[in-house]
Amino acid sequence: MQRDLPLSGVVVVELGDSASAPFSGKILAELGAEVWKVERPTGDSARGWGPSTWKGSGAAFHALNRGKRCISIDIKDRDQLKTLHTLIAERADVFIHNLRPGSSAKYGLDADSLRVTKPELVYCEIGAFGHVGPLNTLPGYDPLMQAFSGIMSITGEEGQPPVRAGVSIIDFGSAMWAVIGILSALHRRQVKHAGATVNASLLETAMAWMSIGVANYNADGEPGGRHGSGVAFIVPHRAYSTSDGDLIVSCANDPLFARLCAALGHPEWSTDDRFATNAGRLQNRAEIDRLIGEQLAKETRAHWQELLQGAGIPAAPIQTTAEVVAHEHTRALGIIGTPSDDEIGLVGLPLSFDGRRPPPLHAARDIGADNDQLPEVLRIRP
C-alpha cells in the first residue's frame, strides 16, 4: 500500500530536533514520502526523553520518528555540511528544519541559499515566536507558548495556579500547520514550477488555538477565566463525578440540554427561566452544575454513559491511557499498530484513504543507521 499513498515519490529532508519538525516529518512519511532524518552525532534530544524507553531511546522519540531514514551529520563540520547541501540539492523536494532562529543562514541552510541550486525546493521553517517581530530570534518550547499566548490563563481551576495541557498541543499543532503549508506549496509547484517558503511557529499555532478566546475578548473586553474541565461559553460542557468515576457531559445547544434534563428525571429544569437558554445557564453556572452533579453522583459512570448516549446526549468517560489503549473501540479503529510483533505499539496517522489507514511504518532507527544507504556520491566519509 505504501506506493499507493498520496506522497509516494516525494523526498523530504528533515533537520529536526525534539517534537515539532520531527512530527511534521512523521506525518509526511506516513503519507508516503521518503523522509531522511538528519541528526547531529549525539542524536535528537528526544532520544533522551524519559522515563519510558524502547530499545535504548526514549519512547517519545519512537512516537515522533518512525518510518524515516536516519542519518548523522555534524553541520559544524564543513565536509559533512557539504554532504547535507548535496543531499538537498540532488534529492529533496522538501526541506524542513526547526533550527534555532537565525542559525540556518550561518550554515547556508536558509531558503535563499538553498534555492540557488534548487529553485523548486519547498522550504519549511518551524520557529518559536515567528519569523518577524521583536521576539523572532528567541528560542521557545511548547509550555512557553501555552503561557505567552494566554492558553494557560484559561486552563485549570479558578483560584488555582495555571496549568498547561498534558500533551504537547503546540508542538504537534505547529507540525500539522507546517504539513498543511508544505502540501499547499507542493500543489502550487505543480502549476507554477516554483518553490515556496513555508513559515510556521509555535506561537502562531497557540494563537490559532486561542481563536475563540480572542474573539470573545474583542467582542466584550472580558479576558475569560478558568473553568476546570468546562469552557467559558457553553453550559453544561464539563466533567461531573459519578459514583465511581468522572464523565464529560456536553450540551452545546438548548435542545440537547432539554434532552439531558429529561434523562436525569428533571424535565422542569429545561423550562426554568434560569436554565432554559445557554445565556441563562452561563449566568447561573454554579447552580445548574450543582443540580446536574447531584444527580450524576447517584449512579455509576457506566450507567450514565449508557443512558445518556442512548438518549443522544454527548457523553464520554475520562479514561486513563491504559483504558483508552485497551478499549474495544480503539482496537476497532486500528489506530495503534506495529510493523512487526517485536516492535512497540504506536499511534498511526489519524486519516484513512478509501477506507484504509496507512500501515504502520518501520521503527525509528539508531543514530546514523542509514548513512550507508546514501547514494555513493553523497556518502559521508570519515
Active-site position among 171, 244, 342, 366: 171
User: Is the separation of the CB atoms in 301 and 244 below 8 Å?
Assistant: yes
Any bridge partners for residue 124, and if so which?
96, 198
> At which residue does the C-alpha cell 502540501 appear?
183
> At which residue does the C-alpha cell 484559561 appear?
154
Q: Does the active-site annotation cover 171?
A: yes
Phi, psi for 117 (deg, rounded to 5): -105, -10
- Name the CA radius of gyration of the chain, rounded: 25
Helix (H, G, I), strand (E, B) or coil at 329: helix
Length of the chain: 382
* Preceding amide of 223 cis, omega within 30: no
User: Is the separation of the CB atoms in 237 and 230 below 8 Å?
Assistant: yes
What is d(CA 124, CA 41) in angstroms, rounded to the nearest whole number?
23
Q: What is the DSSP letter of 168?
A: -
Nearest 5°: the CA angle 85, 86, 87 is 90
Q: What is the DSSP letter of 141?
A: -
Helix (H, G, I), strand (E, B) or coil at 96: strand
Nearest to 19 by CA among 50, 54, 60, 56: 60
Burial 337-372 (b: 16+ CB within 10 A, else e): eeeeeebeebebbeeeeeeebbebbebbbebeeebe
> At which residue does the C-alpha cell 519510558 appear?
52
213 CB neighbour count, 10 Å cutoff: 20
What is d(CA 286, CA 141) in angstroms, rounded to the nearest whole number?
36
> At which residue does the C-alpha cell 531511546 appear?
57
What is d(CA 103, CA 75) in angstroms, rounded to the nearest whole number?
11
Q: Which residues are catalytic?
A: 171
